[in-house]
Amino acid sequence: MEQEKLEVPASNTSQGRSIAYSRSTTRRMMEMLDGNLHGNVHGGVIMRMVDEAAAVVAMKHARHPVVTARVERFDFLAPAYIGNVVSIHCELNYVGRTSMEVGVEVVAEDLMTGETRRVASSQVIYVALDKKGKPTPVPPLIPADADEQARLERANLRRMRMRAIEEELAMIQHMASEV
């Protein structure tokens, strides 16, 4: 996959890293082996590209190997076709102590017409590992500007809501197991 060169704003990486520091886009043209008989790209091909591209962002922020801990969401919004160029835009939404949430937007482009389509969006959580394969702390995410600040606030809010939903579901499951 081709990876775009990034313009990274100056930041003090000893204090933490901005979203822009690790932001990345990868692209690849969809080939016959990526698709089904109707010319649509398999969902699994897109999912693999997303996991690979988003892991690059997490590793770049952490400067450690990472593992995928969770695919928080994966929405397929429109089909991609053989011959389209699929671009995977990834940037960090949230950084915890050892975990990182990467937000992903997938766009397909018909190179003949220039038409672009948003085909998927996802949020994937990675955990950084040390040499022994144990979770290891990562640098904090320091917003570089108002846009980054707003993005972090939205992600924090969403994570708080997700946590509340998980607790509610765990309680329902617990109650069901007692019946």
Ligand X SMILES: CC(C)(COP(=O)(O)OP(=O)(O)OC[C@H]1O[C@@H](n2cnc3c(N)ncnc32)[C@H](O)[C@@H]1OP(=O)(O)O)[C@@H](O)C(=O)NCCC(=O)NCCS
Nearest approach in angstroms of CB 150 to ligand X is 21
Kindly tell me which of 41 and 124 has the beta carbon lying closer to ligand X: 124
Length of the chain: 179
DSSP helix/strand/coil, 130? coil
C-beta closer to ligand X: residue 118 or 163: 163
Residue 32 has φ and ψ, to the nearest 5°, of -55, -40
Name 5's Cβ contacts closer than 8 Å, sequence gap at least 6: none
Residues that bind ligand X (CB under 6 A): 67-70, 96-99, 125, 127, 135
The minimum distance between CB 165 and ligand X, in angstroms, equals 13
Q: Could you give the angle at the alpha carbon of 137 between the alpha carbons of 134 and 139, nearest 5°? A: 150
Q: How far is the CB of 178 from ligand X (least distance, A)?
A: 24
Residue 4 or 52: the one with the smaller Cβ distance to ligand X is 52
CA triple 90-91-92, angle to 5 deg: 135
> Closest distance between ligand X and the C-beta of residue 129, in Å?
6
Number of residue whose CB is nearest ligand X: 96
Residue 93 or 99 having the CB closest to ligand X: 99
Torsions phi, psi for 65 (to 5 deg): -65, 155
